[in-house]
Structure formats: C-alpha cells, structure tokens
Structure 1
C-alpha cells in the first residue's frame, strides 16, 4: 500500500504557524518536513518546538520557492501576514501541492479572485485547497447549522454577531504588519472578526446589502479600525447586526445569535449557550461538545485529500467572507449601503477604504 503521509511545509513560523505545526505534529498521517520563513530565529524556534514534540527535524528554507524545489512537500500551510496569503497559495497550487491557508484568505479581492480560479483549476487535478474557518467545525455551531437546514427554527428573521475583544497598543506594535492596510487588510473585523463573519454567512446565507460605520475608538497609532458596526440584509429576507471591536477592555465575549419564527440559538465563545427549536419555548440546550479547533478542520482536509473530494471550506467560501468584510469597509467609506454582489464582482475595487475609518466625536 502506498504511503499516504502528507509532508507539510509550514510557511510563516510565528504564532499561528506554531498552531499549525502543533496540529500536524499530533497527526499520524502527516509530518512537518519544511519550515519557511525569512527570519532564521523564527525557524529555529519552531524547529526546536517540533523536536520537543518528538518530530523529525524539518528542513529550513528562506522562501517558498526553495522549499518547493527541495522536494519532500505535498501540502503547504500558509501562515504568513494576511496580505501575502493569496500569492503564496497560488504558487503552491501551481506546483500541484495541496494548500491550507490561515484566515483571512487575503486582504485584496482581486488577488482572492485570481486564487479562486487557480483553486478551481487545481481541484480538477485532485489538488485540494482550504481556508481555516475552524469554528464551522465546533460542535455547537454544527448543531445550529443542522437545525437551520432542517427548518427547525422556522423562518429565519434576524441574527446578531459580536466580537468584543481587547488588544493593547503593545499588541499592534509587536509586529510591523499589524494594524496596516497593506498586510493586515483591516482591523477588528478583518483580523479578529472574520471567523464570526464566516459563521454568520454559514447560518444566514449570502448577503444582499450592507451598511456600516467603522472608527478608531482607542488605538490611534494604527491605520485601520478598532471598532465597527454593520447591518446586513440577506437573500432569505432576514437581517443581522455585526459588531467587532478590539477596544473593549479587558476583553469580552464572542456571540452569534440566530432567531426564527419557531426557535433560535446562541453560540457564545464557541460553545452552544441556548437552543430552542420546533416551536418549543423551553431551552433545549444539550452538551454539544467542545470547539473543534484546527484539528477538526485538518481532519476534514485530510479526508478530502484521501477521498479526492472538496473540503468543507473552500476558497470560494472564504472569498464570500472577504467580500463581506470589504463591503463593510466600502459602506463606511461611502456612507451608504452597498450591494454585496457589486463588491464580490469587483465594481468597488478602486475604492480607497482607508478614507472610511473615522474618529469618535470629540
């Protein structure tokens, strides 16, 4: 029987690269064979971490081209700053390597669309690509989605999604790309809130129109927003509010609530906090289990590779989430609602969204 062990290159050896490396190190069907980072110290630190976990020593490279040319790579995990994701992923796909991209897909829709086309071409040759949105694999979120699909909440009417976190000035100063448009692509919504945006779309469907206001409420040294509120309408006729902030000291909770004519549910900090369905007034919450994390999504990705099928989360899913975030920034900039499809299809690509981040009233 052929060896099906995936040989993984981790591209970007910082905080999130360590998460991917730890997840891979726990799998019997994968080995980290390559570490890619322009910072030798970051590579060495991650190599030492893998050695402590009992893993064989990976080869270290300065750039992805060298790693792809060196062989011993079948899957590439992109863990670099957000603005570099799409270009690196496309490079890996062109080399016929499976790709896992840390959220968000990228910060520019033009690059994301190009990657979407590359991912479709690669899929025709059995090459899998996926974007990390691990909260779709949380047991509580999965139960909510199953209830929605089965019609157990009746007609969906509304939803609320909130990410109320705190990030210090030191956090933003800790890396030159943080809080910049070029590499971070946005602030509280793009970086911290994109997972919640993804869940909102998973539950409610594709948006129709979006209106928003984004501000820098507390962190004036950054380029991007630290607080944003938006309203969205969806194709199913429902509406939602979306809120994200990194200016909520000392840090609050993440919540997604879904409401319908026969029930609803609330997921709080990745756990199912309330569940009513089938017209029953009493809370029917059960122990849905802990969050799935990166492990659960990697399980899905590896199953897709083994079965030559699409993973649960594709590049196109991530494009929708990125387009939603972009639509929020555009709506804040133009100070009027924008249509989601116009953003998705590039009609607002020339808008400078950095003009849309206001300051709170003095």
Structure 2
C-alpha cells in the first residue's frame, strides 16, 4: 500500500479522495487543510478515517507518507510541492502547476533534480489518460493522420455568478491565475500540446462578458501556430449557458479525428482504403468510449483514478510518470502566452514567454459586461 496525504480538502481534494479509495494500492492516510472543519468533514466519509492535520509539515512528520496530492488553490501549489520534494516524497500537483510562470519555471528545475533522485513528480492532466485521447495520440504518433495541419478546440462552459462568489480566491489573478482558460480550459490546452507538440506563436483576445466581481476573463480566443506547422484555434469560456461539452477537432493530410465530450466521435485515416469513417471510429476505442454512449456518473473520479494508476506504475517501475512537471510548465506557459498576447494586442513568441521575456506584463481583460 502507498499512503497518500491530500493537501486541500475542498471539492477537488474530495474528488482525489474518491479516486484514491477506489485504487487497491492507495490509502488516504492524511488530510491537510488550514480550516480543520473542512478536513474533518471529508475525513468523516472515508473508511478508515485518515489523520487530520493543519499543516503539511505535520502530515510529513508522521511515518509512512509515500505520496502527496496538492489540491490547494492554484496560487499555493508550488510552496506545498517544494515542501513535499524536500521531504523526499512522491508528488502529484493539481492543475495548473501554479499561477505564476516564474515560480513554476523555478520549480520545474527543482522537480527535475527530484526526478533524478528517483522521485515521481506529476501534474494532474487526467484527460491525457482518456481512452479516446490515447487512441488518437497513438494514431498521430504512428503517422496515420499524415502531417498535422490544423485543429479547433472549444470549451463552451457555463458558470453561474454564484460560482465565483463562493470563495474570495475565485476569479482572482493571485490565486486562480486567470479565468476560463487558466482554471477550466487548461485541460484542453494540455490535450493540444499532447497531440500537436510545441507551440511557436500565439495571437489572442480575452474578455469578461457576463460575470461581475472578478478580475479575470470568462472568454478567451486564440490562434496558435505549432512547430510542426499546424494552426489551431483555441476557444474557452465560462459564459456559454447552459454549458456544452468540450470538442477537439484534429486534421492532417491523411485523415481527421474528433473528440466530443471526451469521447471519440469521428476517426478517419486514408491508410485503410475502402473502410469508412464510422467503421474506423468503432475499431479505435471500446464501445463505451464512443460519443453518444452513456457516460458513467462518476466519470470525473475515473479520470483521476486512471492518472493515479499511472503514478503507481511509475513508482513501481522507477520510470517517469505519463505527465511530468515539464508538461505542466508548457501548459501554463501557453496559457500565459494567451494572456500576454491579449494584453499587448499582438502575436507573441512562445519561447520568449516560456523563457521569461514577458514576465513583467500585467494581464488586462477587455470589459464587456
């Protein structure tokens, strides 16, 4: 058994706990939260009940913590992550890696050193383990779609004003690190990177169109050019009532693939002459992963469970996890590039953003309320 300490016992921490208790090799050994009643409420629904601590140091001082899952507000991720690695403990950090690219950049170096010492360091990107994305990524890697040429990625979600009013840190640059793109859309950003590779240039606009009392955007639109030559359109909003499923279209010189609501809707590759797209689609993933099949009500937990399985295997095998801190850094840098471009009103070079050339740019959001 591997003993897990969850730092941050809110909604996301509870989701991690639900995933952990379903894994035969994992046990929630400690819950850490600055508000004891929050941790105690989560502990009460777990069996056996874990230890409740007010600080991560208290949890790490106990014997036998093998893995720490950091589920605090985004602006507090790096501090808890560094403390975990200093203690010689394996690490999983919720997305995004942090709200600050400079902090995340510095932490990536710390994580690389920890990996060299044999620690597993990962960032939550549970959708990388969705069967549909895994199948399409494999097809891309095998060259079945030919040279990738374009993609359209959209997250038309809806969040009530009450969502942002529910906690002081929501909708702030300091703790949320951004709005619809940084908080919700970063999963789509990560999937773009997994399929299309490294970005080269970003040109974006952001706006606040339907929410009040927030600093950040509830709408972001960007065009992204990738090193392989592909062009992509990225759209992320929490202002699309009633909220629609995410959609990712990928096109290449020899075929296309469409993921809708994290399931496979369409796949065609010209390397199978005479086989129509519906047959190719059905052959690529299990029936329950095809778009239109009923989704499990606990799908959100299942996604995290898949990533926890990868982490357990990485610890057992002494290999890097499927999603590393370096991957989380690239996703955060792409989000930051969108904000920098929108603020400056011009295209920006991705590598310059990643390297810190634009670290002094304070993001601004067009007001359209």
TM-score, normalised to structure 1, is 0.95
* Matches for 1:253-272 after TM superposition, within 5 Å: 253-272=245-264
Residues in 2 aligned to 1:259 and 1:313: alpha-carbon distance in whole angstroms: 24
1:118 matches 2:110: yes
- Structure 2 stretches lacking a partner, 5+ long: 290-298
Q: From 293, 297, 317, give the equivalent of 2:307.
A: 297
CA-based RMSD: 1.3
* Matches for 1:230-309 after TM superposition, within 5 Å: 230-278=222-270, 282-283=276-277, 284-286=280-282, 287-288=285-286, 289-290=288-289, 293-309=303-319
Deviations 1:293-317 (A, max 9, x none): 0111111010000111100000000
1:67 matches 2:52: no
Shift of 1:239: 0.2
Q: From 159, 163, 177, give the equivalent of 1:167.
A: 159
Shift of 1:227: 0.4
1:358 matches 2:366: yes
Residues in 2 aligned to 1:285 and 1:21: alpha-carbon distance in whole angstroms: 34
Deviations 1:334-359 (A, max 9, x none): 00000000010111111101x2x102
Residues in 1 aligned to 2:149 and 2:218: alpha-carbon distance in whole angstroms: 29
Shift of 1:66: 1.6
Q: From 21, 28, 35, give the equivalent of 1:32.
A: 28
Question: What is the number of residues matched between the two proteins?
Answer: 351
Residues in 2 aligned to 1:265 and 1:153: alpha-carbon distance in whole angstroms: 8
Shift of 1:220: 2.5
Alignment correspondent of 1:11:
7
Q: From 311, 332, 338, give the equivalent of 2:348.
A: 338
Residues in 2 aligned to 1:192 and 1:266: alpha-carbon distance in whole angstroms: 20
Shift of 1:323: 0.1
Residues in 2 aligned to 1:149 and 1:27: alpha-carbon distance in whole angstroms: 30
Shift of 1:332: 0.1
Alignment correspondent of 2:294:
none
Alignment correspondent of 1:194:
186
Residues in 2 aligned to 1:339 and 1:98: alpha-carbon distance in whole angstroms: 34
Residues in 2 aligned to 1:168 and 1:57: alpha-carbon distance in whole angstroms: 34
Deviates more, 1:118-127 or 1:11-20: 118-127
Structure 2 residue matching 1:210: 3-state secondary structure: strand
Alignment correspondent of 1:212:
204
1:157 matches 2:184: no
Q: From 229, 247, 250, give the equivalent of 2:221.
A: 229
Find runs of 4+ consecutive structure 1 residues off by over 3 angstroms.
Answer: 287-292
Deviates more, 1:290-299 or 1:306-315: 290-299
Residues in 2 aligned to 1:156 and 1:81: alpha-carbon distance in whole angstroms: 36
Residues in 1 aligned to 2:97 and 2:270: alpha-carbon distance in whole angstroms: 36
Contact 1:87 1:111 in 2 (8 A): no
Alignment correspondent of 2:72:
80
Residues in 2 aligned to 1:159 and 1:132: alpha-carbon distance in whole angstroms: 23
Deviations 1:52-80 (A, max 9, x none): xxx22211111111211233311100001
Residues in 2 aligned to 1:27 and 1:197: alpha-carbon distance in whole angstroms: 28
Residues in 1 aligned to 2:143 and 2:317: alpha-carbon distance in whole angstroms: 30
* Matches for 1:142-153 after TM superposition, within 5 Å: 142-153=134-145
1:44 matches 2:40: yes
